[in-house]
Amino acid sequence: MTLGRLRARAIGALVFLAACAPKVHYQAPVVEVPAEFKENPNWKAIQPQDAALRGTWWEIFGSAELNALEEQIDVSNQTLKVAAARFAEARAAVRGARSAYFPQVTASSSLTGTNPTNTARGAGTGYTDFLVGVDASYEIDAWGRIRETVNASRAAAQATAADLEFVRLSLHAELATDYFTLRGLDREQRLLEQAVAGYQRALELTQNRFRGGLVSQADVDQAETQLESTRAQVIDVQVDRASFEHAIAVLVGQAPSGFSLAAAPLDSTPPEIPYGVPSNILERRPDIAGAERRVAQAAAEVGVATAAFYPLLRLTAAAGFETTSFGNWLSVASNFWSIAPSAIVTIFDGGRRRAVSDQAKAAFTESEAAYRASVLSAFREVEDQLSALRLLAQEAEVQARASAAAERSLTQANNRYQGGVVTYLEVITAQTAALANERAEVSILTRRMSSSVLLLKALGGGWNVAALPVITSGTK
């Protein structure tokens, strides 16, 4: 049998081995999904026209100012740019892994001159060697090591893409929550400023009554205490407002020193949000999609670790020209070539491959548990906000009745005081109760708006797993 036929058969045998390579058949982990949410068994099916679950989900609140701020996040937010850069890195890593499907080719040239002074050829019998050649090396992916490496990097890139979308969703939700909190503080500040104006009039009235001998100095002091403590509360609200304004500035990519929002008391009401059934959450949450892709990555890495137990099969080839005479350097007579298949088997490694394999399998088990935990966490977040919205709506109704009763009590206390029936202490008590109940109403409304934002975030904000980028694996 000639050398050429022997090499051809060796190459054919290696190709045949590649067809027999062990493959990892990945399936997404199975999770138990409830048929309906506990907080609303009579769920509303999502309709195509429901704008609440589209990409610009914040538009459901009907605030032009909020919409304008949200648009700036995708353009200027630095945290989002960090996540986008990480995704770009992951995509580049996929291209790097795919390069192993192709042979590595290098070219080289050399000019070597020798002038031996004491050799069998005699002194002064030097010569020059001219060499130019091309070397190629190719790993035959018989056991799927390269394939699974590419699959792992592809799944990692898709997980990073899901991370990017979850960061985007979180930033938009954080901005909306901060915005409604700030507007709630604006409304609270307006209440306090109205109270300050009323307490100022009450103090003037008490001072007049004191000068007329109708009340004591103690009543004047109590009225002044009430006024000044309320003014202090106004300042305290302003401190909180400034903090949220600065947070919004950073979210939209601006320096707090050059950003401001004019006061505009919160007057919105929570919108109706369709949320469907729990199974929809698996497709809408980018963090769940990211967790599932990391399970796929871990499965592929198990395949990489398994392939390490099999021989490493390579084909190497070289061709070029070599001569000792420059004039004959590139002639046909000076050419050379070689091709050589090889198999490298690790006989003993002290248990390193077994340890790597066990580590990969443990990482796969870990990623499966993390995926299921993320699903449960998503269900919990939806249930939390559904229950919060339901209970806060009930609390708002009760609080409205309490505020109305406090206003009636304050009116009666003022009338009784002006009639000389009671001291100013009763008026202060009624004033404090009325203001506290009004502020509680604002707080409940702010919490309801925030819960609406968090529910939209828990539902995925209109994202869908189909939006994950399709990254070509390059599998042959």
C-alpha–C-alpha distance, residues 380 and 278, integer Å:
10
Distances (CA, A) of 58 to 55, 84, 125, 454, 457: 9, 22, 87, 11, 10
Does pLDDT of 29 surpass 80? yes
pLDDT per residue over 299-353, tens digit each? 999 999 999 998 988 888 887 766 666 556 555 556 777 788 888 888 888 999 9
Beta carbons of 39 and 386 less than 8 angstroms apart: yes
Tokens of 198: 């009323």
Does pLDDT of 86 surpass 70? yes
Tokens of 206: 């008490």
pLDDT per residue over 233-270, tens digit each? 999 999 999 999 999 999 999 999 999 999 999 998 99
* Residue 336: per-residue pLDDT: 72
Segment among 9-18, 361-370, 433-442, 453-462 with least mean pLDDT = 9-18
Q: What is the chain's mean pLDDT, rounded?
A: 86
* Residue 42: per-residue pLDDT: 47
C-alpha–C-alpha distance, residues 369 and 294, integer Å:
11
C-alpha–C-alpha distance, residues 74 and 83, integer Å:
12
DSSP element (H, E) containing 114: strand 104-114
Does pLDDT of 50 surpass 60? no
pLDDT per residue over 352-370, tens digit each? 999 999 999 999 999 999 9
Does pLDDT of 271 surpass 80? yes
% of the chain exceeding 70 in pLDDT: 83
Does pLDDT of 17 surpass 70? no
Does pLDDT of 391 surpass 80? yes
Q: What is the DSSP string of 156-211?
A: HHHHHHHHHHHHHHHHHHHHHHHHHHHHHHHHHHHHHHHHHHHHHHHHHHHHHHHH
Q: What is the CA radius of gyration of the chain?
A: 38
* Residue 198: per-residue pLDDT: 93
